[in-house]
Amino acid sequence: MNRHELFFDLITLSVTIDPLGTLPIFSSVTKRMTPAKRRSAAIRASIIAFAILAGFL
């Protein structure tokens, strides 16, 4: 795991905790990504957040 993946995973965790509050962070982190990559990152973050939340039910 490199630094970029670790950073992305930490952002994903923070999105799980406060999704609306971290929207500006996600936006600034992904501003240099293409729209397709940004969409892919958002979907990945959503799936990981769902899995974490479902795991605690």
**CA separation for the pair 57, 52 (Å, rounded):** 9
What is this structure's pTM?
A: 0.62
**CA separation for the pair 18, 5 (Å, rounded):** 20
**CA separation for the pair 53, 32 (Å, rounded):** 29
Count of structural domains within the chain: 1
C-alpha 5 chain-centroid distance: 11
Higher pLDDT, 33 or 7: 33
The pLDDT of 8-26, averaged and rounded, is 78
Residue 51 structural domain: 3-55
Most confident option among 18-22, 25-29, 35-39: 35-39
**Nearest-5° Cα angle at 43, 55 to 50:** 15
The confidence band for 35, taking pLDDT boundaries of 50, 70 and 90, is very high
C-alpha 28 chain-centroid distance: 12
Q: Is the pLDDT of residue 14 over 80?
A: no
